Structure 1
């Protein structure tokens, strides 16, 4: 397992993190708590020490499950807990952005309680709020850090301009953005910023909602409120384009490395930037087995270019992850 210091203060984490949005159930067709706990507790067996969650994932459910799993498994000294703030909800149908200082401070205390810990290793602003000065949000985060409630500060889905303004008040340790072979929108803006500022990149959606797992097929159906029912990538004719790319990527991975497309997709994220971490969503322990196949090999620049050419050749009508963005308050 490759590791990374998250803030130059010996806060070390694995370069693959367990993403727990699906574990919260909301927008993923429900959850199985006992199975989720087993999944979280099995993560360190594969070297996965970073666990990423958020209050909005199941409206507290994901954090509760993570906290219970870590407590029951006596894992707190083995894992890095990352969560988020700056979203609020008045029902399970309406989620809006709220990055006010009051909201951020309250959410931190709520997360500490649900996670059953006295300190959050990484707290991230989930989405920028156009109704709140980013400096106000940064002040709240700095206050939490200075009070010892959090160890590292992150921002998620921020633009370079927003990160620059935020950094005038509080240093950013981690930027979390969507990044995978099918969603490379940050290449031209966020990536140059994190490189210039030596900031860690936490790539969410590294397998693009399972598209890059190699287990999708044209007739796949998704239950209940699964967000993929509304994801343009999973609607024809786009779905066929993405599946065709996955098929050729599987062949490329097998012929050149003896690997699968899933291994290739994660390795591609990690090799794009030495200070990157890929989030790996899993709800069952066996879904983490493939983590072991990511280590011990790399993709050079030529291979990464060939991989991107395969994607661009098949996906002629690409679409980003914009459908997931929650609205600002009116």
Structure 2
């Protein structure tokens, strides 16, 4: 199928509207991923017109960045990749905590460069706001890196409108990365309008709601030990049945009106929402990128959006957001 990727501009760079999300290839919370599969997946993005890869140190505790670094070296052209990584999460035997201590952020940045095998980052993001410190402290670190040319664009992730406002007073803010999908729309209230009015790009994660909108899950699909979805309230009965019913009806709607499946509909929905710049697509193997061309070349009109809203509201009577992903507060 002919590649027809869409692009947006992020601080002067042309970036694909679909990006590879690499939480899964880290292997720590989505099951083991062979190194060869992970590297092949990172290289397969070019078959689909993608240049954006999003990662973070917390994904596999450094392994995701290391694998991307190996893929970059195997490919041979660093400039072909638009690499977005993050800082601001620490982990220990008690769990995962937000930590934007300036000294730690500087060390995280150097560690990420080493793992990625590069001397700059295209987009550097604060992964979660650290509520024990003013957000300006993290912004000051990114300001220094940006002014030095070591990062090409400045981003945040999971920040509220108020937090972005404070952050952007210190350094130009180019992007925010929140969760957003058919079932999780919390950013519609204030985050998305703020980004839209301040020219801040929005790169969404969980576009398929942890594979719930991929259309493959059934009520008796086993979720393996160590899989992050075991902690997600959406995957617990009886609520799980409500979401599966919505997926079934959305799939029927997509087939009837567009000759597509729910997976294509879900990602197209994200891309067609006003103010959304890009949607991240998680994959562990190259073949999991195969449906991407089916997302391109068509759009959802207002009546389709309304029918999707009706289906979701009718089926999911006990909705829940992605709050369970929020890291702990360090003491």
TM-score (norm 2): 0.97
Cα deviation, residue 152, structure 1: 0.5
Q: CA deviation at 1:275?
A: 4.4
Q: Deviations over 1:201-247 (max 9, x none)?
A: 01000000000001111111122210111111011011110010001
CA distance in 2 between partners of 1:321 and 1:274 (Å): 20
Which residue of the partner structure matches residue 127 of structure 1?
A: 128
Per-residue displacement from partner, 1:31-88 (whole Å, max 9, x unpaired)? 2211111111101111111000000001000000111111112242211000000111
- Contact 1:25 / 1:58 at 8 angstroms: preserved in 2? yes
Q: Which residue of 1 aligns with 2:165?
A: 164
What residue in structure 2 maps to residue 97 of structure 1? 98
Residue of structure 2 aligned with 1:15, choices 8, 14, 17:
17
1:88 is matched with which residue? 90
Q: SS in structure 1 opposite 2:58?
A: coil
Matched residue of 1:216: which SS?
coil
1:199·1:275 contact (CA, 8 Å) conserved in 2?
no
Q: State the distance in 2 between where 1:301 and 1:191 align.
A: 19
Q: Could you tell me which residue of structure 1 aligns to residue 146 of structure 2?
A: 145
Q: What are the superposed Cα offsets for residues 92-130 of structure 1, whole Å, 9 maximum, x if unpaired?
A: x52211112111111111111101111100010000001
Counterpart CA distance in 2 for 1:269 and 1:305 is: 14
| Residue 3 of structure 1, CA deviation | 0.4
CA distance in structure 1 between the partners assigned to 2:137 and 2:256 by the alignment: 52
Question: How far off its partner does 1:274 sit?
Answer: 5.0
| Structure 1: gaps (5+ residues) | none
1:313 maps to which residue?
314
Unmatched segments (≥5 aa) in structure 2: none
Identify the match of residue 3 of structure 1 among 3, 7, 13: 7
Question: Is contact 1:17–1:279 with CA below 8 Å preserved after alignment?
Answer: yes
Q: Distance in 2 between matches of 1:274 and 1:203?
A: 11
Partner residue of 2:243? Answer: 242
What does 1:1-330 correspond to in 2, within 5 Å? 1-7=5-11, 9=12, 11-91=13-93, 94-273=95-274, 275-330=276-331
Consecutive aligned runs of 4 or more in structure 1 exceeding 2 Å deviation: none
- Indicate conservation of the 8 Å contact 2:204/2:276, yes or no: no
CA contact (8 A) 2:192 2:275 kept: no
3-state SS in 1 of match to 2:154: strand
How far is 1:263 from its partner? 0.5
Q: TM-score scaled to structure 1, two decimals?
A: 0.97
- Give secondary structure in 2 for the equivalent of 1:178: coil
Task: State the secondary structure of the residue aligned to 2:31.
Answer: coil
| 2:284 match: secondary structure | coil
Asked if 1 retains the 8 angstrom alpha-carbon contact of 2:175 and 2:201, the reply is: yes
Q: Aligned with 1:106: secondary structure?
A: helix
Q: Secondary structure at the match of 1:201?
A: strand
Partner Cα distance (2:197, 2:270) in 1: 18
- Are the aligned partners of 2:272 and 2:299 in contact in 1 as well (CA < 8 Å)? yes
Kept in 2, the 8 Å contact 1:26–1:57? The answer is yes
Q: Give distance in 2, aligned partners of 1:62 and 1:260.
A: 29
Distance 1:275 1:231 in 2: 25
- Number of aligned pairs? 327
Aligned with 2:152: secondary structure?
strand
Distance 2:223 2:45 in 1: 25
State how far apart, in whole Å, the 2-side matches of 1:39 and 1:90 are.
29
